[in-house]
Amino acid sequence: MRDDRPPANQRPSSRKGIASLDALAGFDEIIDVRSPAEFADDHIPGAISCPVLDDAQRAEVGTLYKQVSPFVAKKLGAAYISANIARHLQERFLDRDKSWRPLIVCWRGGMRSGAMTTVFRSIGWDACQLEGGYKVFRNHVLGELERLPGLYRFHVIAGPTGSGKTRILQAMAGQGAQVLDLEGLACHKGSVLGGQPGQAQPGQKWFETCLWHALAAFDPARPVFVESESRKIGRLRLPEALFLAMQQAPCSEIRVARNDRVAFLLQDYPHFLHDVGELAARLNSLRELLGNERINDWLALAGQGDFPRLTASLLELHYDPLYGRALGHLRGPRQQIEAGALTVEEIARVAQQVQALAP
């Protein structure tokens, strides 16, 4: 339950049983009653999932609505909804006191959230359903992703693959800087080898919601540091307004000797050293782009366990040419920062230098 809500006499007012999106902060808990699949696709940050129709029930009711009649569908839907509300009440909410104030969310603020709101208000809780439902929230997120990037002074961290940009950003965050960790939000390092082991990327909608949530928390009076990215991180697209703001922002380009980058990458991608099959699969995906001869040479090095030579060749023949082309898209003023071997101490030093030079 929320413990940072305003006092009751300072909470936003709402019509009886209905609340608008700007009243979110006045509630103790946000309950999303959509199906599990809808919730997994995207939801209001901090909401809990209490579906009044599970995925199979929602599909069944929807089929009846289209193929039989709305009346038959509503009868079955009401039976399912009543049983599921009773179960959630018994299992999750019996310990809530009379002052508890939940906000209940469904797709459009209709029957599903209305049913739970009615039951909860009949008990005596000041429950409200979100007017317009998740659809209003989604439209708000999209609008804010167009507006918010224009409020901030972004400072881009650039550098070829293996120059420790993500670690530098993490060090900056630890030093108190405002950092937008796009690769962390996307669960991907942004290249053909950038997938995180054991972690699937989120869906596009949830990625955008997390991005909005991060942006909304920043102080416009302070710079926001972000790593240089292309329009896509893995399979996820950056909002156009953010991408354009990053292109125009001042940039610190980290310069690291190639042998130091190779050593860093061998530490940063240890999973590929232990799963040559997965590494081969990722390299094979580049055949159409780079040709059979080059890929076969790399696969031979991987099979021999010669990862230093493989990494150096990948940098020279693939990643560095890509970086050179990408660098041309950064249009803001640029400064170069020389870094040595990427030890923890050197990363911390570079992080401090970037902040000192940022406007």
Domains and CATH numbers, the chain: 8-131 (3.40.250.10), 143-357 (3.40.50)
Q: Name residue, tokens 């949530």.
A: 213
Would you state the pLDDT for residue 15? 57
Would you state the pLDDT for residue 6? 47
Would you state the pLDDT for residue 11? 46
**Positions in the chain short of pLDDT 50:** 1-14
Would you state the pLDDT for residue 209? 98
Determine the Cα–Cα distance for residues 285 and 38; give it in Å rounded to an integer: 32
Would you state the pLDDT for residue 14? 47
DSSP E strands: which ranges in the chain? Answer: 18-19, 29-32, 48-49, 102-105, 128-130, 154-158, 178-180, 224-227, 232-233, 236-237, 251-256, 334-339
Determine the Cα–Cα distance for residues 196 and 235; give it in Å rounded to an integer: 13
Would you state the pLDDT for residue 272? 74
Active site residues per annotation:
106
Q: Name residue, tokens 């997938």.
A: 195
Q: What is the model's pTM?
A: 0.90
Dihedral-angle region of residue 159 (phi above 0 means left; psi in -120 to 50 means alpha; beta otherwise): left
Would you state the pLDDT for residue 2? 46
